[in-house]
């Protein structure tokens, strides 16, 4: 039996991310997508849903208020960009609370919790992903008034430029208005390391390193004193 998942979010890019994440796990299946709580209410009346990915801040009726109207809700994972809703969400007995932008490893952890609640064994990421998809995890960056998909395996390094960051990939460079700390939160720790207050690098793209810098392609990325111990630990 595959777990039937309903995705409810008023932002198409956010739905796209969750749909792709669900599709990467063979035991999950997308039962439907809804842009608001009204559509979600209708969908729940028409089909069986095991797991609900529910955005909180939506027009007409927000996610937590919608959840209060359901007598027998499925397992619920809340998704939002606003941490102030966390307490209210847990008071509603949700499985987990995902902060946007949602990282795949954090998504997987939430799904593990849902499976555990249903009596199944926890899932291991390597066992879940088909071999051809293990290197296809991705994130979206807002650039040029659109959401740009970037495969994690293509990222070389990321550089902070005050209120912006530059994402250097194998094929191009993307400039997006956000902090380097928020970008760091999007990336899996096993693939990336913060080497400096202004730099994040892909561990798999490092050609060589010293205690003061790492070399990626033709670029030399500094290692800050505050980050040195953590970097050396990951590189060793």
pLDDT value for 156 = 96
Going along the chain from its start, the domains and CATH numbers come out as 3-131 (3.40.50.2300), 139-235 (2.40.50.1020)
Which tens digits make up the pLDDT trace of 137-187?
788 888 887 778 888 899 999 999 988 999 999 999 999 888 888 788 778
Which pairs count as long-range contacts for 94-97, CB under 8 Å and 24+ apart, including other chains?
Answer: 94/67, 95/51
pLDDT value for 136 = 61
- Strand 138-143 to 146-151 pairing: antiparallel
Question: What are residue 78's DSSP bridge partners?
Answer: 54, 97
SS3 54: strand
- Phi first, then psi, for residue 133 (nearest 5°) are -110, 0
- Identify the CA nearest to 60 among candidates 23, 8, 137: 8
The model's pTM is 0.56
Which tens digits make up the pLDDT trace of 12-65?
989 999 998 898 888 899 999 999 999 999 999 999 999 999 999 898 899 989
Which tens digits make up the pLDDT trace of 59-99?
889 998 999 999 888 999 999 887 766 666 566 788 888 98
E strands, 129-191, are 138-143, 146-151, 155-161, 164-169, 173-176
The confidence band for 125, taking pLDDT boundaries of 50, 70 and 90, is very low
Q: What whole-number distance in Å separates Cα of residue 105 and Cα of residue 186?
A: 9
* pLDDT(117) > 80: no
* pLDDT(122) > 60: no
């Amino acid at each position: 039996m595959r777990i039937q998942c309903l995705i409810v979010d008023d932002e198409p890019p956010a739905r796209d991310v969750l749909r792709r994440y669900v599709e990467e796990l063979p035991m999950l299946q997308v039962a439907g997508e809804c842009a608001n709580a009204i559509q979600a209410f209708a969908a729940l009346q028409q089909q069986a849903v095991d797991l609900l990915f529910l955005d909180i801040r939506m027009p007409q009726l927000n996610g937590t208020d919608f959840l209060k109207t359901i007598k027998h809700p499925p397992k619920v994972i809340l998704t939002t960009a606003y941490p102030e809703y966390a307490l209210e969400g847990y008071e509603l007995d949700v499985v987990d609370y995902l902060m946007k932008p949602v990282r795949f490893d954090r998504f997987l952890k939430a799904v593990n919790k849902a499976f555990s609640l249903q009596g199944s064994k926890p899932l291991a990421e390597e066992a879940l992903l088909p071999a051809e998809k293990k290197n296809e995890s991705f994130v979206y960056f807002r650039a040029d008034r659109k959401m740009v998909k970037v495969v994690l395996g293509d990222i070389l390094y990321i550089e902070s430029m005050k209120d912006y960051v530059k994402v250097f990939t194998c094929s191009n460079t993307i400039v997006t208005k956000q902090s380097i700390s928020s970008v760091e939160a999007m990336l899996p720790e096993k693939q990336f390391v913060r080497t400096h207050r202004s730099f994040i690098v892909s561990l798999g793209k490092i050609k060589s390193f010293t205690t003061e810098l790492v070399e990626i392609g033709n670029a030399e990325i500094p290692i800050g004193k505050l980050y040195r111990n953590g970097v050396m630990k990951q590189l060793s």
